Amino acid sequence: MDWTLARRAKRLNPSVIREILKLTERPGIVSLAGGLPAAEGFPVEALREATARVLAGQPREALQYAASEGHGPLREQVAADLAARGLRIAASQVLITTGSQQGLDLVGKVLLDPGSEVAVEQPTYLGALQAFASSEPRVVALAGDDDGPRPDAIAAARGARFAYLLPNFQNPSGRCLGAARRDAIVDAALAAGVPIVEDDPYADLWLDAPPPAPLAARAGDAAIYLGSFSKVLAPGLRVGYLVAPKSLYPKLLQAKQAADLHTPGFNQRIVHEVLASGMLPAHLDALRTRYRIHRDAMQAALERHLGVFGTACRWQRPAGGMFFWVELPEGIDAAALLPRAVDAGVAYVPGAAFYAAAPRANTLRLSFATVAPSRIDAGIEALARVLREAWAPAQLPLRRGAVASALH
Ligand code: PMP
């Protein structure tokens, strides 16, 4: 049969990351490509006990169809946790979603028409670009500097349906916006009438100091805020949430009803039960300790092995989250280099896929979350090896002396 695809389906592409992950399933590869949290960090015992309590307490309610808005006590809990972070909202504004990825999909469905403008950071979260793509928007890139998206770029996005922003330990760049930049961005957005969609799954994964308050705390009903339990508990639960202004909430709820009726009530009750047990602060402490060790191992490995490239290779030590963002020497295409890197035993995600426009081919994303520190070092060493081979021939005719000494 010759099926005729809808226009929106033609725009759907396989995730670049998933394609790369297939490549990296070969044994022996140090994969710094994945975006998965560390499985060793999943609170298995606490989840086992919480599940038993849910099944012992109200098993039939837990296994029944449930309210589309989400499990009431979990919505209350989310509102209380956000208040502690400076975001004061009512529990009635919380919509529990099937991962925050569903939140992005619902936002796209409710706010975007074909051709409507959506403003994104450069680089930005690939999964959001995918979620919005089916609404066929015109994606415009926000100019930025070392401190994040520039307020004047937000002002210039006047007319956009929303600006999609990731202030905390951004996927993919790891960057965290400072308080002053947050304020300036929100003020610019309010002045220009550009609503904000704030995606914040990494807030609790701070490694040095808690991040400043969310953008939504200042933006009020000019913001939708998305959160997730994927990185702090486990992504297999598929429990996330969005917080919407009262005026928008019913539409998002209706879109959710059309999508899946409700987020699994069983999982929501398990999440609520586990949070109510009071285990989260100690769990987060342990998680941060684990991620800090990994982050520091990657920073040390990068210094050790990419240091020879001097300022031609640049990265910033992320203050949280799961990712390093590395700029390779100009002229090196990280996607073209990947097959050689995989042959050498390391995988990463080329950065170009994370750009809505004018991709920077010499960038890549490295995850420090899942790989053991000793393997992180081996992976970065392999990366440095293929990089030297790719870079040196390009440089030698011009700067033979400088490069030859730098490489030894
Ligand atoms: N937003 C960002 C920035 C992410 O990195 C992810 C997970 N990779 C998500 C949203 C989706 O997370 P989940 O659906 O598991 O909550």
* Ligand 1 pocket, residue 202 CB under 6 Å: no
Boundaries of CATH 3.90.1150.10 in the chain? 9-42+282-407
What pLDDT, on a 0 to 100 scale, did the predictor assign at position 399?
45
Alpha-carbon distance of 221 to 226, in angstroms, equals: 14
What pLDDT, on a 0 to 100 scale, did the predictor assign at position 404?
36
Q: State the distance from the centre of ligand 1 to the C-alpha of 56, rounded, in angstroms.
A: 31
Least confident of 96-100, 102-106, 142-146, 209-213: 142-146
Pocket test for ligand 1, best of 98, 199, 370 (most atoms within 8 A of CB): 199
Q: Average pLDDT, stretch 380-387? A: 97
Residue of higher predicted confidence among 14 and 389: 389
What pLDDT, on a 0 to 100 scale, did the predictor assign at position 8?
84
Q: In the predicted model, is pLDDT for residue 402 greater than 60?
A: no
pLDDT > 70: percent of the chain:
95
Q: State the distance from the centre of ligand 1 to the C-alpha of 172, rounded, in angstroms.
A: 11
What pLDDT, on a 0 to 100 scale, did the predictor assign at position 114?
95
What pLDDT, on a 0 to 100 scale, did the predictor assign at position 17?
67
Neighbours of 377 (CB within 10 A): 19
* pLDDT tens, position by position, 46-96: 999 999 999 999 999 999 999 999 999 999 999 999 999 999 999 999 999
Q: State the distance from the centre of ligand 1 to the C-alpha of 355, rounded, in angstroms.
A: 17
* pLDDT tens, position by position, 31-41: 999 889 999 99
pLDDT > 90: percent of the chain:
88
Q: Average pLDDT, stretch 368-374? A: 95
Confidence of residue 394 (pLDDT cuts 50, 70, 90): low
Alpha-carbon distance of 183 to 209, in angstroms, equals: 19
Alpha-carbon 180 to chain mean position: 22
Alpha-carbon distance of 125 to 356, in angstroms, equals: 10
* Ligand 1 pocket, residue 235 CB under 6 Å: yes
Ligand 1, atom 11, lies closest to the CA of 101
* pLDDT tens, position by position, 138-194: 999 999 998 999 999 999 999 999 999 999 999 999 999 999 999 999 999 999 999
Q: In the predicted model, is pLDDT for residue 197 greater than 90?
A: yes
Q: Average pLDDT, stretch 274-302? A: 98
Q: In the predicted model, is pLDDT for residue 28 greater than 90?
A: no
Helices and strands in the chain: count of H runs, count of E runs: 15, 15
Topology of domain 9-42+282-407, CATH:
Aspartate Aminotransferase, domain 1 (3.90.1150)
* Ligand 1 pocket, residue 101 CB under 6 Å: yes
Atom of ligand 1 nearest to the CA of 230: 15
What pLDDT, on a 0 to 100 scale, did the predictor assign at position 395?
61
What pLDDT, on a 0 to 100 scale, did the predictor assign at position 118?
98
Q: In the predicted model, is pLDDT for residue 24 greater than 90?
A: no
Average pLDDT, the chain: 93
* Ligand 1 pocket, residue 100 CB under 6 Å: yes
Pocket test for ligand 1, best of 17, 125, 260, 325 (most atoms within 8 A of CB): 125
Alpha-carbon distance of 49 to 59, in angstroms, equals: 14
Beta-carbon contacts of 374 under 8 Å, excluding residues fewer than 6 positions away, are none
Atom of ligand 1 nearest to the CA of 104: 10
Least confident of 21-25, 48-52, 206-210: 21-25
Ligand 1, atom 5, lies closest to the CA of 171
In the CATH scheme, what is the code of domain 44-276? Answer: 3.40.640.10
Q: Average pLDDT, stretch 287-316? A: 96
Q: State the distance from the centre of ligand 1 to the C-alpha of 290, rounded, in angstroms.
A: 20
What pLDDT, on a 0 to 100 scale, did the predictor assign at position 105?
98
What pLDDT, on a 0 to 100 scale, did the predictor assign at position 348?
95
* Pairing mode, strands 30-31 and 94-97: unpaired
* Ligand 1 pocket, residue 201 CB under 6 Å: yes
Q: State the distance from the centre of ligand 1 to the C-alpha of 232, rounded, in angstroms.
A: 12
Q: In the predicted model, is pLDDT for residue 396 greater than 80?
A: no
Alpha-carbon distance of 210 to 203, in angstroms, equals: 8
- In Å, what is the CA distance from 240 to each residue of 89, 98, 166, 287, 341? 16, 6, 16, 19, 35
Boundaries of CATH 3.40.640.10 in the chain? 44-276
What pLDDT, on a 0 to 100 scale, did the predictor assign at position 34?
86
